[in-house]
């Protein structure tokens, strides 16, 4: 048998091996990202479509998205008639971080429905803002005649038990959505 020569343990050799491992790893990650990106985008698009369908009145087509007051608005139409507008809003006042919601308004400006898109609130407490018992309190309400704040602050909404900060964050995002809807009406 031939003697196998062991690679000398020098700084240069270690650097070459480390560079080779890094290059192979980077190529593998890049390849995986490129192959999975279309599927991930498709899943995100489907998730977005389902959220829009959940918060808006029945519609046939969506209009072009536009920005107002730092929020993203999406009009919805039946034929050429505007039936509602969805507004994506974020509050930075959550107990665990940002609270991102989607609010659907009907053609008269009443809140049709809401959906929580993203939260980092305490499980079993602030995360209860996704429960219909809390979030559905505003459905069908006209923001002109319904105070979108917790009762503790003089509003018309019952806060989540032991999660007033989370309740306020949800309502802060909701009020931002209302302001954006009013200023961005086309």
Residue 31 lies in a domain: yes
Q: What is the pLDDT of residue 122?
A: 73
- In this prediction, residue 161 carries a pLDDT of 85
Q: Looking at the domain assignment, is residue 2 inside a domain?
A: no
**CB proximity list for 71: less than 8 A, separation 6 or greater:** 87, 88, 89, 176, 177, 180, 184
Same domain, 61 and 50: no
For the chain, the helix, strand and coil percentages under 3-state DSSP, each to the nearest 5: 45, 25, 35
pLDDT score for 180:
96
Please check whether residues 113 and 50 belong to one and the same domain: no
- Do residues 97 and 180 both lie within one domain? yes
- Asked whether residue 4 is assigned to any structural domain, the reply reads no
Mean of the per-residue pLDDT values of the chain = 90
- Per-residue model confidence as pLDDT tens digits over 105-149: 999 999 999 999 888 877 777 788 888 999 999 999 999 999 999
Distance from C-alpha of 123 to C-alpha of 148, rounded to nearest angstrom: 24
Residues 33 and 75 in one domain: no
Whether residues 60 and 48 share a domain: the answer is no
Which domain-ending residue is among 54, 76, 91? Answer: 54
What domain count does the chain have? 2
Given this model, what pLDDT does residue 128 score? Answer: 82
pLDDT score, position 56:
96
The pTM assigned to this predicted structure is: 0.76
Residues 43 and 109 reside in one and the same domain? no
Domain around 35: 9-54
Q: Is residue 101 a part of any domain in this protein?
A: yes
Task: Give yes or no: residues 21 and 98 share one domain.
Answer: no
- 3 belongs to a structural domain: no
Asked if 65 and 103 sit in the same domain, the reply is yes
Q: Which residue ranges of the chain lie beneath pLDDT 70? A: 1-4, 7, 186
Q: Are residues 41 and 123 in the same domain?
A: no
Distance CA 98, CA 173 (A): 10
Q: Are residues 83 and 135 in the same domain?
A: yes
Please state, as a whole number, how many other Cβ atoms lie within 10 Å of the Cβ of residue 166: 26
One domain for residues 125 and 156: yes
- Let me know if residue 29 belongs to a domain: yes
On whether residue 117 sits in a domain, the answer given is yes
Residues 117 and 41 in one domain: no
Check: CB of residue 7 under 8 Å from CB of residue 13: yes
């Amino acid at each position: 048998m031939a003697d196998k020569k062991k690679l000398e343990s020098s700084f240069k050799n270690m650097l070459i091996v480390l560079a080779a491992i890094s290059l192979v790893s980077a190529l593998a990650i890049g390849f995986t990202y490129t192959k999975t990106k279309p599927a991930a985008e498709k899943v995100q698009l489907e998730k977005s479509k389902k959220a829009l369908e959940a918060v808006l009145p029945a519609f046939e087509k969506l209009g072009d998205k536009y920005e107002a007051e730092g929020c993203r608005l999406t009009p919805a139409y039946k034929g050429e008639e505007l039936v509602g507008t969805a507004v994506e809003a974020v509050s930075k006042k959550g107990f665990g971080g940002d609270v991102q919601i989607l609010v659907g308004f009907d053609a008269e400006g009443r809140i049709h429905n809401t959906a929580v898109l993203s939260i980092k609130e305490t499980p079993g407490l602030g995360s209860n803002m996704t429960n219909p018992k809390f979030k559905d309190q505003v459905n069908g309400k006209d923001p002109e005649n319904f105070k979108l704040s917790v009762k503790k602050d003089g509003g018309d909404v019952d806060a989540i038990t032991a999660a007033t900060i989370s309740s306020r964050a949800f309502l802060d995002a909701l009020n931002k959505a209302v302001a954006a809807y009013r200023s961005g009406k086309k």
